[in-house]
Structure 1
Amino acid sequence: MTDRMFADLRPAKLDELTEDAYRRRRSADLARALATPRRPRHSRRPFLLMAGTLAAGLAAAVTVVAGSGESTAPVKAPQPPVVAQPVSARSFLLAAATTAMREPAGSGRYWYVRERTFQKVHNVPSEYMAQIQRLIKEQQRREKELKGDLKRLEAAKDDFEQKVGKLKTAELPYVAYAADTRETWRAMKKGEPGSSVGSQDVRVTFGSPDDEAAWRAAGSPELVDPKTPAPVRSADRILSIDNPSLTLQNVRDLPTGEDGLRQELDALWKRSPRMAHADKPTYLWQTGVDLMTAPIRPGTRSALFRILADQPGITSQGESSDALGRTGVALSAPSADGFDFRLIIDGDTAELLQYEVVEKGQPLLRVALEQLGWSDSPDQRPKG
């Protein structure tokens, strides 16, 4: 499991205990927005559907459970539908490149994104944090005992990290997903604070009625914190974990031609902190998500789609529904460490609807981009 993926899957409160807290919040980092005003999705049929190349997919039903633990509908968690005769990933990406060129560029003082995140629950939060606190106290005690013994201190640190790692990847005896909504306003002017509101509309989804029954048999423990925090003013944040030199301000300077962008991505890869421990196709796929959800120019988006179309291993799963019920085309690419990265892209506008991480066919993380656009105030949503 890569550090990038690992960060997404761990409980959020652990971030408060680390020095690199922000760099390990992958879902917040990736969820940036497109720089173009969007047309209503429901007003058109996707262009590939008009060609008759895709079969209609059925959206799986979703069980929604409130923070109190009361189920509102007994059905399965969303799963990708099986689709016959999907269009090839390359054909779709090349068509998306043409569509992206037709989208007008936009501008504004703040870039706004509203995202809905669904993340697999690995631990009961209260139990998890109690165990983490015990490990921290134990580590602090050992550091005092081993003060000055660098070799044993390093061994103690490794032991602590291994124990924390086991807690992160522990599995409950039932499958559950926590969902919440986050809104962010990112300032386009360097140094100007933005704003964010997270953990809104917190709910839980179970993998099946049997999973819900197992949860109830376990005493219906609280799996999420339903409280909504107050808006937070924040300074500029990292645009791409894998590419520290990219910012919200300079990402619009990326080349708009395919060759120029390919060369720039190669240069970014060579400077990336991921280069030493990640394969390039995975880096490129994840950086592609960073760029697709950032305010890049239409020409850059078009070039990016063309570059991705040339990558090996990307497959199309045909028409699929995202976690919000919107329809797009699902593209999937494997990583070297056994995960699948999956995107659902609107066939009409070529915008990213959702990105997700899948392990052995089971979603671990799903982030649906609900609303994107420009705003001139850090407390106002885009119009339309």
Structure 2
Amino acid sequence: MNSGATMPPTTDPDKIFQALRPAALDDDAEHAYHRRRDSDLARAMRADTVTDARDGVVPGRSRRRPVLLIAGVAAAACAAAGVIVVTDQGDGSSTKPPGREQAAPYSDARSVLLAAAQAAEREPAKPARYWYHRERTTSRAGDLMLRMDKSTGRPRKTKQKAQFLAYVSHTQEDWLARDKGDVTRAIVGIDRTTTFASPADEAKWKKMGSPELEPWSAKRHVNDYHEPMRLTIGQRTLTFAELSKLPTEAGALTAELRRRYEADVNDPKYPLQDSFPQYVWSTAQDLLAGPIKPGTRAAMFKVLAKQPGLRLVGGVTDEKGRRGVAVAMPPEGKQTHVSGDAITEYRLIVSPETGRLLSYEARRSAGRPSLTITYEAMGWVNALGARP
């Protein structure tokens, strides 16, 4: 999400999500980092980009989330399928180890998404003062280490190359105010942990001087914003009111997305390079995790179901242990993580029974995903600090 009417968002390299986020939050290293696609990590380490929000445009190559943005408030912020028996614990969680694939009663990705659409349509619409969002991000550390610059309080690159395999995880909570005058709150750096593939990997890291692995603070930090919320689709910002007016019928939503896509592609200053299917995929990831009407969520699933190139992965459990079904899309062109590993596909894990997005992954040919974003909870609440 993008917010901030008066303060133009600034970004340090990138593009994994068209972020449905407050713009001011995108100025926060922690907040911005996990809202961009994993493929952007490499780009983020190569160049600096600046977002120009004065005309409501978010540059395509710096607008996306998982993976990375550093700037503005950053200085302060840095202050194999088979039948498996599972036990449902009542909240959609499972006793099955995360990431393992299960048999699923779906023939293709389209059937999964249409089932999710039907479930979304049944959800009652109950908007309140704040949209609550909690997600946990786990990212593979890159081969370009970071060190904190004591004079600026910001991370900077070093010429050291990683000789180990490690993953960094952290959680963030947001209360996004719907109405002008209410405060938006983001709590970042919650329960930050670092895990190594082996004791030998950790020993190598320590031998290198224990450099910073990612550009976000290891400490919990509360940020309050007093600016009106601005959200994004593609490269254009919207208010909460505009977001609530998005179509609830698949044909109309397709037309609206196509109109926005063409505008982004033909933008004279920041022409979008993505294909329309990739644009829909990215937008779906953002909208399905955002404060949209149940009808719009259902329509988004239907629009996504019509896109070419989708693959049914099968039944899985996410990092939180919840059962879902994964659908995948291959990357466009050569997408790499800063570790140098090629990204072979992106995945969305959805719950066809509830119509909810559970997780996003950027995966390599084998092993643990380079990036995992687990959407732990979301929904409308009436007060800061309240949770659905």
- Fold-level match, TM-score > 0.5? yes
* CA distance in structure 2 between the partners assigned to 1:315 and 1:170 by the alignment: 38
Contact 2:14 2:63 in 1 (8 A): no
Offset from partner CA, 1:200-221 (integer Å, 9 cap, x none): 1111122455533543554544
Structure 1 residues 58 and 313, CA, compared in 2 at 3 Å: closer, same or farther? Answer: farther
1:260 aligns with 2:279: no
Please state how far the C-alpha of 1:102 moved relative to its aligned partner: 0.8
Structure 1 residues 212 and 308, CA, compared in 2 at 3 Å: closer, same or farther? Answer: same
Instruction: Determine the structure 2 residue equivalent to 1:282.
Output: 278
1:186 aligns with 2:167: no
Aligned residue pair count: 309
Instruction: Determine the structure 2 residue equivalent to 1:81.
Output: 100
Where do residues 121-270 of structure 1 align in structure 2 (5 Å cutoff)? 121-122=141-142, 123-126=144-147, 172-190=162-180, 192-208=182-198, 210-218=200-208, 220-223=210-213, 225-240=217-232, 242-270=234-262
Offset from partner CA, 1:32-88 (integer Å, 9 cap, x none): xxxxxxxxx842779xxxxxxxxx99525xxxxxxxxxxxxxxxxxxx434557731
Q: Which amino acid aligns with 1:349?
A: T
* CA distance in structure 1 between the partners assigned to 2:140 and 2:357 by the alignment: 21
Instruction: Determine the structure 2 residue equivalent to 1:364.
Output: 370
Offset from partner CA, 1:161-219 (integer Å, 9 cap, x none): xxx9xx59985222212111111111111464311111111111224555335435545
Offset from partner CA, 1:89-144 (integer Å, 9 cap, x none): 111111111111111111111111111111222243327x58x999x9xxxxxxxx
1:93 aligns with 2:104: no
**1:116 aligned to 127, 132, 136, which one?**
136
Contact 1:313 1:334 in 2 (8 A): yes
Structure 1 residues 170 and 85, CA, compared in 2 at 3 Å: closer, same or farther? Answer: farther
Contact 2:146 2:158 in 1 (8 A): no
Structure 1 residues 208 and 247, CA, compared in 2 at 3 Å: closer, same or farther? Answer: farther
Q: Which runs of 4+ in 1 moved over 6 A?
A: none
Identity %: 33
Contact 1:342 1:357 in 2 (8 A): yes
Please state how far the C-alpha of 1:298 moved relative to its aligned partner: 1.6
Partner secondary structure for residue 319 of structure 2 = coil
Contact 2:135 2:375 in 1 (8 A): yes
Structure 1 residues 258 and 203, CA, compared in 2 at 3 Å: closer, same or farther? Answer: same
Partner secondary structure for residue 121 of structure 2 = helix
- Larger deviation, residues 182-191 vs 220-229: 220-229
Q: Which amino acid aligns with 1:125?
A: L
Contact 2:14 2:67 in 1 (8 A): no
Contact 2:97 2:317 in 1 (8 A): yes
Contact 2:174 2:186 in 1 (8 A): yes
* CA distance in structure 1 between the partners assigned to 2:275 and 2:190 by the alignment: 35
- Larger helix percent: 1
Contact 1:256 1:300 in 2 (8 A): yes
**1:43 aligned to 82, 90, 99, which one?**
90
* CA distance in structure 2 between the partners assigned to 1:21 and 1:133 by the alignment: 24
Structure 1 residues 171 and 21, CA, compared in 2 at 3 Å: closer, same or farther? Answer: farther
Instruction: Determine the structure 1 residue equivalent to 2:310.
Output: 314
1:304 aligns with 2:342: no
Offset from partner CA, 1:199-249 (integer Å, 9 cap, x none): 111111224555335435545445464222234334245422614143322
* CA distance in structure 2 between the partners assigned to 1:25 and 1:266 by the alignment: 18
Structure 1 residues 227 and 191, CA, compared in 2 at 3 Å: closer, same or farther? Answer: same
Q: Which amino acid aligns with 1:250?
A: E
1:4 aligns with 2:24: no
Structure 1 residues 276 and 227, CA, compared in 2 at 3 Å: closer, same or farther? Answer: closer
Structure 1 residues 29 and 178, CA, compared in 2 at 3 Å: closer, same or farther? Answer: closer
Partner secondary structure for residue 281 of structure 2 = helix
Please state how far the C-alpha of 1:365 moved relative to its aligned partner: 2.1
* CA distance in structure 2 between the partners assigned to 1:367 and 1:206 by the alignment: 19
* CA distance in structure 1 between the partners assigned to 2:117 and 2:233 by the alignment: 25
Partner secondary structure for residue 302 of structure 1 = helix
Q: Which amino acid aligns with 2:90?
A: S
Instruction: Determine the structure 2 residue equivalent to 1:333.
Output: 329
Unaligned runs of 5+ in 2: 1-12, 18-32, 69-87, 335-342
Structure 1 residues 81 and 357, CA, compared in 2 at 3 Å: closer, same or farther? Answer: same
* CA distance in structure 2 between the partners assigned to 1:42 and 1:57 by the alignment: 8
* CA distance in structure 2 between the partners assigned to 1:42 and 1:247 by the alignment: 38
TM-score, normalised relative to structure 1 = 0.68
Contact 1:57 1:82 in 2 (8 A): no
1:291 aligns with 2:310: no
Instruction: Determine the structure 2 residue equivalent to 1:20.
Output: 51
Q: Which amino acid aligns with 1:126?
A: R
Structure 1 residues 187 and 285, CA, compared in 2 at 3 Å: closer, same or farther? Answer: same
TM-score, normalised relative to structure 2 = 0.68
Unaligned runs of 5+ in 1: 31-40, 47-55, 61-79, 137-163
The CA RMSD over aligned residues, in Å, is: 3.9
- Larger strand percent: 2
